[in-house]
Amino acid sequence: MDHALFYKQYIRPLLFKLDSESAHKLAHEAGHLAGSLFPLFANDFKYQGNDLSVNLAGTQLENPVGLAAGFDKNGLLASMLGNIGFGFAEIGSVTGKPSAGNPKPRLFRLVDDEGLINRLGLNGDGADVVAQRLKTTNLSLPIGINIAKTNDPSIKGDLAVEDILHSFKAVKDLPAIYVTINASCPNTKEGILEEKKQLATIFSEVQKLNSGKLPLFVKLSPDSSDELLHDMVEEAIGNSLTGYVCGNTTTTRKSLRTNSQMLEKIGTGGLSGRPLKDLGLSLCRRIAKLKDANQTIIGVGGIFSGQDAFDYIVAGATVIEIYTGLIYEGPTLPKQICEELSALLKSRRMSITEATGSESKIKA
């Protein structure tokens, strides 16, 4: 039986019997333990073609499918994710101080929508521990590192800037290919950085420490107003950021199959998965219009197939990332996306580089 079917018929039903966070923990631990076995099945998990190789911020990747931030917050899987076919992975969010996050329960499945709602609230080991771990890890793939402000409302103003700088200092000399500043976590009181002045300070102070070496991205919210995006892009261009991660989860609950009582019971949190795709794609398009021509977009939100990845790429993304799709489709999803994407590009006689942003070129 093929691995995708095996996951859906046997593994997923078992995992979905557990509450979402325990299932995630179990899958994480199994991945950690079985990591060294995956190379034995390389043909089953890794896309073998070379037509999807892309350059992300100066690094040539085997393929454009990355793991989104939040799945491997503490860098525990960096030694095996390459073995299941990812082209790169974004580790984190990593915060200045270790944090237990918000009280449980805080992660919920919307099975009818193939979505998740989470309000984890940036739980993690903290930047120093994660950096130390990654220093001694044999990396199986190129990694980006996502940094965010520690979830603690008393850390604000100058302290908030210092907290982010602490994380950046801890990770800046790791062999990472980029760093993302997460300005869009919906699950902490001050998670979405709306204030232009504070954002400008963070970008410029990080760049001072960086001396322009490590490509910097900012992760945006699909719920942002045009005005906020305009401000963010202005500051990102002014501070020579390499690009944008489009985007984070949404706090909206539109057009869901899950009934409103259930949604009310679940409460607040960021929605991800299939219902997020239109919003994420629209964010990608909005940023493609505002950004500098030489800036890069990493597309993420509701990607479950090669067609979804293609939609983000023609909308302007150079590479894409997945999280919720992995929970519903299983560990063969990176390979499946690559195969479908390759077929779509071939049918349109386009290289992946030609496809990137081609939507606006056609319209122009």
Ligand X SMILES: Cc1cc2nc3c(=O)[nH]c(=O)nc-3n(C[C@H](O)[C@H](O)[C@H](O)COP(=O)(O)O)c2cc1C
Provide the residue count of the chain: 364
Minimum Å gap between C-beta 301 and ligand X is 4
The residues binding ligand X (CB under 6 A) are: 68-70, 73, 92-93, 107, 116, 118, 120, 122, 146, 182, 219, 248-249, 272-273, 276, 300-303, 322-325
CB 140 within 8 A of CB 174: no
Select 82 or 186, whichever has its Cβ closest to ligand X: 186
- What is the C-alpha to C-alpha distance for residues 23 and 29, in angstroms, rounded to an integer? 10
CB of residue 244 vs ligand X: minimum separation in angstroms? 12
Nearer residue to ligand X within complex by CB, 92 or 331: 92
Q: Is the preceding omega at residue 22 within 30 degrees of 0, hence cis?
A: no
Residue type, 271: L
The C-alpha atoms of residue 201 and residue 198 are separated, in whole angstroms, by 5
Q: Are strands 216-220 and 88-95 parallel, antiparallel or unpaired?
A: unpaired
Whole-angstrom Cα distance, residue 312 to residue 355? 10
Nearer to ligand X, 103 or 212 (CB): 103
How do the residues of the chain divide into helix, strand and coil, expressed in percent and rounded to 5? 45, 20, 40
> Of residues 185, 246, 284, 338, which has the active-site annotation?
185
Q: Minimum distance from CB of 323 to ligand X (Å)?
A: 3
d(CA 55, CA 72): 23
- Round to whole Å and give the CA distance between 47 and 22: 30
From the CB of 171, what's the least distance to ligand X, in Å?
Answer: 14
Give the burial string for 100-112 (b: 16+ CB within 10 Å, else e).
Answer: ebbeeebbbbbee
Nearer to ligand X, 93 or 150 (CB): 93
Q: Which single residue brings its beta carbon nearest to ligand X?
A: 70
Q: How many helices (H) and strands (E) does the chain have?
A: 15, 13
Helix, coil or strand: residue 317: strand
Q: What is the dihedral of CA 260, 264, 265, 268, to 10 degrees?
A: 130
User: Shortest approach of ligand X to residue 136 CB, angstroms?
Assistant: 22
Q: Which is nearer to ligand X, 263 or 350 (CB)?
A: 263
Residue 146 or 258 with smaller CB distance to ligand X: 146
Shortest separation between residue 341's beta carbon and ligand X, angstroms: 15
Is residue 338 annotated as part of the catalytic site, yes or no? Answer: no
* CB closer to ligand X out of 116 and 176: 116
Query: Nearest distance from residue 148's CB to ligand X, in Å?
Result: 6
As a whole number of angstroms, the distance between CA 150 and CA 155 comes to 8
Active site residue ranges = 185
